[in-house]
Structure 1
Amino acid sequence: MSHLLLWFSYIFLFRLASSHLVEVPASKKECFFEDLHVNDQMTVTYQVGGGGHLDIDFWISNPDGNAVKKNIRYSTGTASITAEKDGRYEFCFSNQMSSIADKIVSFNVHGVIYVGEGADEVVAPIEREIRALAHGLTSVKDEQEYIVVRERTHRNTAESTNSRVKWWSILQTVVLFSVVAWQVYYLKSFFEVKRVI
C-alpha cells in the first residue's frame, strides 16, 4: 500500500512541473515567483525560441532580493536552487539589453520530486527505480520541449527566407521587364525616320 501511495505522490509531484511560454518585450523583464520552504528544491529550465540573437538574461532571487543564480545572455539554461529559508523566490527573464527585438521564452519549473530522502535513508530497489524513472521522464519532457522550440525557430527562419526569395524574384522580374521595355523603346527610336520640313 505504501508503494502505491508513493507512486501516486510521484505522479502528483511530477505533474507540478509545468511548461510556460512567455514573450519578453524589448527593454523589459518578466518575473515569476514560487513560495518555498526550507530545503525545498526548485529547478528552472528555459530556452529562447525567437527574437534577436536568441539570448536572454536570467536570475533567481531569494526572499531578501539577492541573486542566488544568474545567467547572462544564454539561449538555453538550467538553474537549480535549494531554499535556505522560507519565503518567495523570484525568477526573472530580462530583455533589457535589447532595444528592438522581443524574445519568446519557453520555460519549465520543477518542484520537489523526492521528498524525505536523507543521507541515511534506506531506499527500496523499486523505489530507487521509480525515482530514476521519474527523473528520466522529466529529462525526456524537457528534451521534447527543446526540440519543439528549435523546430519552431527553424520553421520561422525557413518561412522568412522563402518570403525574401519570393519578393526578390518579383523585384528581379519587374526590373527585367522594365529594362526590356526601355531597350525596345530606345532601339525603336533609332529606326524612326525623322523628316525635316
Structure 2
Amino acid sequence: MVKMTKLWLFLNVLFSIAWPEGWAEKVLGTETEEFDFDGLPGAQHEFKIEVGAGREECFYQKIVAGGKLHISFEVLNGGDRKLELRVYSPTVNMIGHVDLREMGGFESEIADTGPYAICLDNSMSRMASKLVYVFLVTYVEEEWSRYRQEIEDVELTVSNFSASIQTVQESVKETLVHQAQSRMHIIKDWYLITGNNTYIQRWSICQCIVVMMCSGIQVYFVRRLFRGTNVTPTSKPRA
C-alpha cells in the first residue's frame, strides 16, 4: 500500500512538472503561483470526506516555500472511528504522520514549493468506512501580515470616507432645515404682504368714496348759497 501511494504521488509530481501552468491561478485578474484562487495569501478548506473500508484517500494542496501548513481531522462516524493521517512533500517524502486515532492534527513549516499530499488511511479497517471531517489551512505569515495591513488600511479609508459622508449628511440636513425655515418665513411674509395689500385697497376705496361724497355735498351747498330767484313770492318780477 505504501509503495502504491508513493508511486501515485510520484506520478502527480511528474504531472505538475510537465504542466506547470496547470498549477497557476488567477488572483484579481493576475496569474500567480503564490496565492490560492480565493485571492488570499494562503488557503483554507474544511470539508467532510468518506474513506472507504480498506482504502486510502489522498488530496493535494499547493503550498509555497516559507508557508505554514496546519491540518486537523476528526472521525465522525464508522467502525472504531480511528484512522491514520500522512502528509507527503512534493518529493514524495513523508513529513508528517498521525497514528490511528479518532482525532488529531499536524502543523509544519514548508521548505519546498509544490503540491503536498494529505492522505487519510483506512486500510486497517476491512469492514467499515469512515466519515471524516478535515480542516486545512496554509498561509505565508509575511504575506498574510501584509494582506491584513492592507485590509486594515482599506477599513481605515472606508472609516474616514464614512466619517466624511456623515459630515456631509449633517451639513445637508442643516441646509434643508435652513431652507425649510426660509420657506416658512417667505410664506409668512407673503401672507402679511397680501393682507396689507387687501387692507390698503379697501381703506383707499373707502377714503375715495368719503372724499367723493364730501366733494358732492360741498358743491351742493355752495351752489345753494348762491342760488337766487327772479320773481317775488307773489310771482312778480323782481326789480
The structure, 1 or 2, with the larger RCO (C-alpha pairs under 8 Å, 6+ apart) is 1
Residue in 2 that maps onto 1:38: 65
1:69 maps to 2:100: no
- Name structure 2 gaps, 5 residues minimum: 1-37, 153-239
Q: What are the within-5 Å matches in structure 2 for residues 116-131 of structure 1?
A: 116=143
User: Does structure 1 retain, via aligned residues, the 8 Å contact 2:53–2:127?
Assistant: yes
Q: Percent identity?
A: 21
The 5 A counterparts of 1:85-164 are 85-112=112-139, 114-116=141-143
Specify the alignment match of 2:52 in structure 1: 25
Corresponding residue number in structure 1 for 2:15: none
Displacement of 1:116 after TM fit? 4.5
Deviations 1:10-44 (A, max 9, x none): x9649942211000000101101111121111111
Q: Which amino acid aligns with 1:48?
A: V
Q: 1:57-85 deviations in whole A, cap 9, x for unaligned?
A: 10100111111110110111111121111
1:57 aligns with 2:57: no
Find the counterpart in structure 2 of residue 158 from structure 1.
none
SS at match of 1:111: strand
Judging changes above 3 Å, is the alpha-carbon distance between structure 1 residues 86 and 115 closer, same or farther for their aligned structure 2 residues?
same
CA RMSD in angstroms comes to: 2.9
Do the aligned partners of 1:46 and 1:78 also contact (CA within 8 Å) in 2?
A: yes
Q: Which amino acid aligns with 1:32?
A: F
Q: Given residue 70 of structure 1, which amino acid in structure 2 is its aligned partner?
A: H
Asked if structure 2 preserves the Cα contact closer than 8 Å seen for 1:13 and 1:111, the reply is no
User: In the TM superposition, what is the alpha-carbon distance from 1:113 to its structure 2 partner?
Assistant: 6.1
Counterparts of 2:66 and 2:56 in 1: how far apart (Å)? 28
Paired AA for residue 67 in structure 2: D
1:144 aligns to what? none
Q: 1:24 to 1:64 in 2, by over 3 A?
A: same
Q: Secondary structure at the match of 1:17?
A: strand
TM-score, normalisation: structure 1: 0.51
Question: Residue 19 and residue 62 in structure 1: after superposition, are their counterparts in 2 closer, same or farther (change >3 A)?
Answer: same
Contact 2:122 2:129 in 1 (8 A): yes
Superposition misfits of 4+ residues, deviation over 3 angstroms = 11-16
- Deviation string 1:42-61 (CA, Å, 9 cap, x unpaired) is 11111000011111010100
Contact 1:31 1:90 in 2 (8 A): yes
Q: Provide the residue aligned with 1:80 in structure 2.
A: 107
Amino acid across the alignment from 2:95: V
| Higher Cα Rg, which structure | 2
Aligned partners of 1:52 and 1:102 also within 8 Å: yes
Q: Unmatched 5+ residue regions in structure 1?
A: 1-10, 119-123, 128-197
TM-score, normalisation: structure 2: 0.42
Aligned length: 113
